[in-house]
Chains A and B, each alone.
Chain A
Amino acid sequence: MSSYAQIFLTFAKIGSFTIGGGFAMVQMMEREVVEKKHWLDHEEFMDTLVVAQSTPGLFAIDMASHIGMKLKGVTGGIVGAIATALPSIVTILLIAIFFQTFKDNLYVEKVFMGVRPCVVALILAPCFNMAKKAKLNKFNFWIPIVAAILIAAFGVSPIWCILAAGIGGFIWGELKN
C-alpha cells in the first residue's frame, strides 16, 4: 500500500523528470501509478483525467492532488500536489538566482534574442492541436478568433473571456433543451 512518503517520492519523481509540462506528465503518471505501483486501475485513472480536465488549475497538479486524495484523503492530496510542484520551484529558484547575475551579459542577451521568436512559435504550434481537440467547426470557429482579438487587440482580460464562454455555453445548452 501507499504511505505519505511513497506518495511524495512518486510525484516528486514525476515532477523532476518530465519536461514540457502537462500532457507529458500524464503518461509518466499512468506508468508510475497504474502500471508500476497499482495504486489505481485504468478506469480510476481515467476518472482522474476527467476531474483534472473539468476543474481549473494545472493539469499535472490537479491529477496529483486527486490521486493523492484517493490514496490518503485530503492530506494525501496536499502531499501529491506539493511533491509535483516542489522540483519545479527548486529548479526555477536556482536558475533565477543564478541568472540574476548574468542577465545583462552581452552573450546571454544574444542567445535570448534568438530564443524569443522561437518561444512565440512554440506557443502557437500547440494551439493548432488544441483546436482539433476542441472540435472546432464552422459553427464555433469564431469563438477562439473573437477571444484572441478581444485579449490581444483590446486588452480585455482573459478571465472575462473564460467567464463569457462558460456562461454562454451554459445558456446555449439550456436553450437547446
Chain B
Amino acid sequence: MIFLELFYVFSKIGIFNFGGGYAMLSLIQDEVVNKHHWMSINEFTDIVAISQSTPGPIGINCATYTGYTAVIHAGYPTWAAVLGAILASLSVIWLPFILMVSISKFLIKHHDSKTVTSVFSTLRPAIVGLIGAAAIMLMSKENFGDPSESPFVFVVSITIFLLAFVGTRLYKVHPIIMILLCGLAGLLIY
C-alpha cells in the first residue's frame, strides 16, 4: 500500500535528517529512487531543481513533490496524489517535532556538554559526506548524457556543470538565477 509506505519512508527520512535540506536529498534519493523505484533519477533531479526555485524549505518542497509523483506512478488519480503529497510532507515533520517538544529544555541546558559536542564532532563531517554523495549520485548518464552514445550532450552538460559550480562558488550567483540561465542554455543549445 503506497500510502503506508510513504508514511514509513518519509517518517524515517525525517528522524534521520540532520544538517538540513541538502543532506536530506541523499536520504530521499536512496529511498525513493534506488530502493522503491518510485521515480527515475531524471524525475528526481527535476524535482530538486523545482524545489530549489520555489519558496519554502527544500526538504518540504521535495517531500511534497516526491509524494505526489510516487502516488501518480502507482496508478492512482490526481486527488489521491494530492493526499500522498500532504502525507509525505507531514510524515517528515512529526517525529522531529515530538522529539523537539520532549528534549528542547534539556538541549538548551546541555548543548555544550562533552557528550553532545563529541557526537556532533563526527556527525557534522559525516553530513558533509552525505551532501557530497547526493551530488555524486546525480552525476549519472541519465543526467549528463552517455559520453559514447551522445557525446554532444555529455560535453554540454559538463560545461554547464563547471560554469554553474564556478558561478555559485566564486561569483555567488543566486541559485534561481543559475537554474534559469542553465534552463535557457538547454533550450537554445539542444
The CA-CA distance from A72 to B51 in the complex, in Å, is 31
| A111 interfacial contact with B, CB 8 Å | yes
Q: Please tell me if the beta carbons of A113 and B59 are within 8 angstroms of each other in the complex.
A: no
User: Knowing A57-B93, A78-B97, A158-B130 touch, does A89 contact B20 (C-beta < 8 A)?
Assistant: no
**Which of A2-10, A31-39, A130-138 is the contact stretch?**
A130-138
In the bound complex, residues from chain A placing their C-beta under 8 Å from that of B129 are 143-148, 151, 161
Complex Cα distance, B124 from A159, in Å, reads: 14
CB < 8 Å: which of A23, A128, A158 contacts B169?
A128
Decide if A55 touches B57 in the complex (CB within 8 Å). no
With beta carbons under 8 angstroms apart, the residue of B52, B100, B123, B189 that contacts A51 is: B100
Report chain A residues within 8 Å CB of B34. 155
- With A58-B17, A111-B186, A148-B132 given, is the CB distance from A25 to B64 under 8 Å? no
Pick the contact of A21 from B58, B115, B169 — CB < 8 Å?
B58
Partner of A144, one of B85, B96, B132, B143: B132
Q: Which of B15, B131, B156 contacts A123 (CB under 8 A)?
A: B131
Are B144 and A116 in contact (CB-based, < 8 A)?
Answer: yes
A92 in complex: contacting residue of B65, B118, B138, B189, CB < 8 Å: B65
Quick one: closest A residue to B24, CB to CB? A58
A interface bracket (residues with beta carbon within 8 Å of B): 35 or more
Q: Knowing A47-B108, A56-B18, A114-B187 touch, does A136 contact B125 (C-beta < 8 A)?
A: yes
Which of B16, B68, B183 interacts with A56 by CB under 8 Å? B16
Residues 5-42 (chain A) with a chain B CB within 8 angstroms: 15-23, 25
Min distance, Cβ B50 to any Cβ of chain A, angstroms: 6
- CB-based contact B68/A93 at 8 Å: yes
Q: Give 1 or 0 for each of A96-126: 1 = CB within 8 Å of chain B CB.
A: 1101100100010011111111111111111
Chain B min CB distance to A124 (Å): 4
In the A-B complex, list the 8 residue pairs whose CB atoms are closest, starting with the nearest.
A114-B186, A173-B118, A57-B96, A147-B129, A88-B56, A169-B122, A144-B129, A165-B126
Using a CB–CB cutoff of 8 Å, the interface residues on chain A facing chain B are 15-23, 25, 47, 50-51, 54-62, 65-66, 69, 74, 77-78, 81, 84-85, 87-89, 91-93, 95-97, 99-100, 103, 107, 110-128, 130-131, 133-136, 140-141, 143-148, 151-152, 155, 157-159, 161-166, 168-170, 172-174, 176-177
* 20 sample A-B contacts, Cβ–Cβ < 8 Å, listed by A number: A22-B58, A56-B14, A59-B21, A61-B57, A69-B100, A84-B57, A115-B186, A117-B143, A117-B157, A130-B22, A131-B128, A133-B124, A158-B133, A159-B27, A162-B18, A165-B122, A173-B114, A173-B117, A173-B118, A177-B114
Beyond the given A54-B120, A123-B138, A147-B132, could you list 6 further A-B residue pairs with CB under 8 A, ordered by the A residue number?
A95-B54, A117-B143, A121-B160, A121-B165, A125-B169, A173-B114
